[in-house]
Amino acid sequence: MSGTRKPKTTRKKKDPNAPKRSLSAYMFFANENRDIVRSENPGITFGGVGKLLGEKWKALTPDEKSPYEQKAENDKKRYEQEKANYLAQQQ
């Protein structure tokens, strides 16, 4: 119970260049599951796919997430240079 939603509290407004952030492991996993889950569940709707996706995501194991987490790591670095370049020009 720390920061689940985003009701609002502190934190600056937004960066001038706003390098945004990186994707999450779920984003990479979802990229592969969207076509697979939906392919195995033809007819299922957002109510099922959306929830079903999350359940399966953890249904696997940290080992299955591994490939996705790996991509997340690479993407994180992507953001790292974004921020670096953003901070450089910002100065």
Partner DNA sequence: CAAGTGATTGTTTCC
Partner DNA sequence: GGAAACAATCACTTG
- The site for DNA (CB under 7 A) is made up of 2-3, 6-12, 14, 18, 20-27, 30-31, 34-35, 38, 44-46, 49-51, 53-55, 57-58, 69, 72-73, 76, 79-80, 83, 87
Distance from C-alpha of 87 to C-alpha of 91, rounded to nearest angstrom: 6
Q: How far is the CB of 33 from DNA (least distance, A)?
A: 8
Kindly give the interhelix angle for 46-59 and 25-40, rounded to the nearest 10 degrees. 120
Q: Which residues contact 26 (CB under 8 A, 6 or more apart)?
A: 54, 57, 68
Query: 55 vs 63, which CB is nearer to DNA?
Result: 55
Query: 35 vs 67, which CB is nearer to DNA?
Result: 35
Q: How far is the CB of 16 from DNA (least distance, A)?
A: 11
Query: 11 vs 63, which CB is nearer to DNA?
Result: 11
Q: How far is the CB of 6 from DNA (least distance, A)?
A: 4
3-state helix, strand, coil in the chain (%, to 5): 65, 0, 35
